[in-house]
A and B are shown apart, each in its own frame.
Chain A
Amino acid sequence: MAGLLQRLLNLDRRWIFLFVLVSVATPIVIPIGLPVTTTGATRSAFEFVESLRPGDVVWLSFDYGPSSAPENDPMAEGFMRQCLEKKVRVIVSALYPLGGLSLANASVAKVSAEYPGAEYGVDYINLGYKDGAAAVMRRLGDDIEGVFPTDVSGRPISEFPIMQGIKNIRSVKLVMTVATGTIGEWWITQVHAQFGTPVIIGPTAVSAPKYYAFLNAGQLVGMLGGMKGAAEYEKLLAAKYPNLGAFYGKTLLFTATKGMDGQTVLHAVILLFILLGNIAYFSNRSRRAGR
């Protein structure tokens, strides 16, 4: 037994890597369909969007890159789907330099194709990327057109009906930032704190702990924390809108709910490794103390 534990302590890390690979890949190939329970932060985000009226305008900012897309894409797309279901109009922007714009373009194209009735420039608009995120946010408080004079295709935003009456970020009912890094925090400090616009954040799981402080302080109306938050949001959408329930149940595309299977197995594996590592450590220590 002592020899086995010693061998365990000296286990080649490549075995661990192989074990992790198999554990994550298997549920992706063969989904388990584990249940998802919702938390208060996600429910309050969902309910806030539900409380908006048709015709209201919200701001969706793609503040993340491809590295965290599996976590963040489902949040942004789920939010957009809810808005288009409710006839809430969406202004899209991207403030993350490493691929935020391409992700915004892809998600807008994907979700708008699901809603053929939604018209570009009337129900949603893509303003594209702008550098200097914090300065952009400050400027949005005064004049949106000053920061984004044209949409992503170069047409003046004043041409689009969605922008009529939307002078600054105060005219927007909600900001949803799907973020990695500090850009999400800037929406709270630069926009909510200075102009009062409510903010919902969809951070990656590693950033989520920081935002509980803002949530507790009432500076965020809700949060979708990591893939778990996105999966919760998908569950709430599926329960509220039957067509989205059918979509999330049948789609072959990646969804956060499917991703949670892999994450669950991986958490089980990591906990198992922690347990084994500690058993081996304490056994080794007691053996040494006994000598």
Chain B
Amino acid sequence: MNLEFGKVALVAIFLLVPFAGIALGMRAPSLRSKIPLVVAFFAGLIPIVSLYVPKRFLSGDTGMSPRLDQWLIIVAGFALLLGITNVIQNSTKKITRRAPGWPYAAVLLAGLYVMSAFAIYGWWSGDGIGIRPDGSATPFQWVYIAVFQPLQATIFALLAFFIASAAFRAFRARNTEATILLIAAAIVMSGRVPLLEFLAFPFPFLHGAAADASQFMGRATEWIMDVPNGAAQSGIIIGAALGAGSMAIRVILGIERGYLGLGKSE
């Protein structure tokens, strides 16, 4: 039996501690909320510490950090399962109570069950869920191509209609900020596409001038995207990262406990 350090340590922290916690929690209910905090503390701390300690303990091939990452992938799979269970529960409840919009819940469930059935059939028949070797589509793939793909494309394509409508109704130079935004948007929209060439298309004598002006607009667009946009995005990303970091520290230290889903008394 290969008792690697990382495996043993992780099993000790994440399996024995919770079980011990459950056992203790039965005797002392106040401990019930403490054990998940211990688990969260180690789960948060190990990847950070692994960057600073010798590889063989935490971040080597058999270390705790890569094993924890592996577990994370497995947990993500279970999270997906949990999500599906949640969808089934909520939708079923909605249908049985005839809540507003229940037919949509019925369609959602029908989609879930039909696709699951086709996936199980693909697994059972050995065809999988993609294209068969002879080039024909499996039932799962057929529904994906004929239903899911056009539906998703349609939803996204609706954006073009709503953007055009919103631009007409709401994009006004009401004040200085809106005017700056409008000018920047007009330059970027013109510079990202060969708009001037398109407008000059019926007039051959303007093609050269349109090409030069288009080059200029393209450079202006790149400047807007690189400099003001790049600077603003950097600020947003750094701010969000600092926020995420401080939230992570709060979770690791057990200050932020919202994820436990406990009542105030606990």
Interface residues of A (CB under 8 A from B): 11, 13, 16-17, 19-21, 24, 32, 34-37, 39-40, 65-70, 97-99, 101-102, 105, 109, 130-132, 135-136, 138-139, 142-143, 146-147, 152-153, 205, 208-210, 212-213, 215-217, 226, 228, 260, 263-271, 273-274, 276-278, 281-282
Q: State the main secondary structure of chain B at its contact with A.
A: helix
Closest 4 CB pairs between A and B? A132-B76, A135-B72, A67-B156, A273-B168
List of A residues within 8 angstroms of B141 by Cβ: 102
B210-226 residues with Cβ-Cβ distance < 8 A to A are 211, 214-215, 218, 222, 225-226
**Which of these, B79, B145, B190, contacts A271 with CB under 8 Å?**
B190
User: 18 pairs across A/B with beta carbons < 8 Å?
Assistant: A11-B168, A16-B161, A16-B164, A32-B201, A66-B148, A66-B149, A101-B130, A102-B130, A130-B73, A138-B72, A142-B61, A142-B69, A212-B229, A212-B230, A260-B194, A265-B198, A271-B190, A278-B173
Nearest A residue to B192 via CB reads A228
- Total contacts A to B, CB within 8 angstroms? 171
State A133–B206 Cα separation when bound (angstroms). 50
The answer to whether B70 and A213 have CB atoms under 8 Å apart is no
CA distance A73 to B103 in the complex (A): 34
Partner of A17, one of B161, B195, B229: B161
* Cβ contact within 8 Å between A278 and B70: no
A277 contact set on B, CB distance < 8 A: 167-169, 171-172
Among candidates B169, B173, B230, residue contacting A215 with C-beta atoms closer than 8 Å: B230
For B61, give its contact among A39, A97, A143 (CB under 8 Å).
A143
In the complex, what's the smallest C-beta–C-beta distance from B84 to chain A, in angstroms? Answer: 12
B197 touching A34, Cβ below 8 Å: yes
Kindly state whether residue B160 has any CB partner on chain A within 8 Å: yes
CA distance A217 to B237 in the complex (A): 12
**What's the nearest-Cβ distance from chain A to residue B112, in Å?**
13
B208 at the interface (CB under 8 A from A): no
Q: Tell me, in angstroms, the Cα distance from A267 to B215 when the chains sit together.
A: 17
Question: Given the complex, which residues of B lie within 8 Å of A138, measured CB to CB?
Answer: 47, 69, 72
If A17-B165, A99-B144, A277-B167 touch, whether A212 touches B225 (CB-CB below 8 Å) is yes
Q: Once the chains bind, are B160 and A268 in contact (CB under 8 Å)?
A: no
* B53 close to A (CB within 8 Å): no
Give the contacts of B82-135 with A (CB-CB under 8 A): 128, 130-131
Q: Give, as a whole number of angstroms, the nearest-CB distance from A142 to chain B.
A: 4
* Cβ contacts under 8 Å, A101 to chain B: 130
Contact of B180 with A by CB under 8 A? no
Q: How far is the CB of A229 from chain B (nearest CB, A)?
A: 10
Known interface pairs A34-B197, A267-B193, A274-B171; A39-B69 also in contact (CB < 8 Å): no
Question: Are A69 and B153 also in contact (CB < 8 A) when A20-B160, A143-B61 are?
Answer: yes
Partner of A37, one of B70, B76, B215: B215
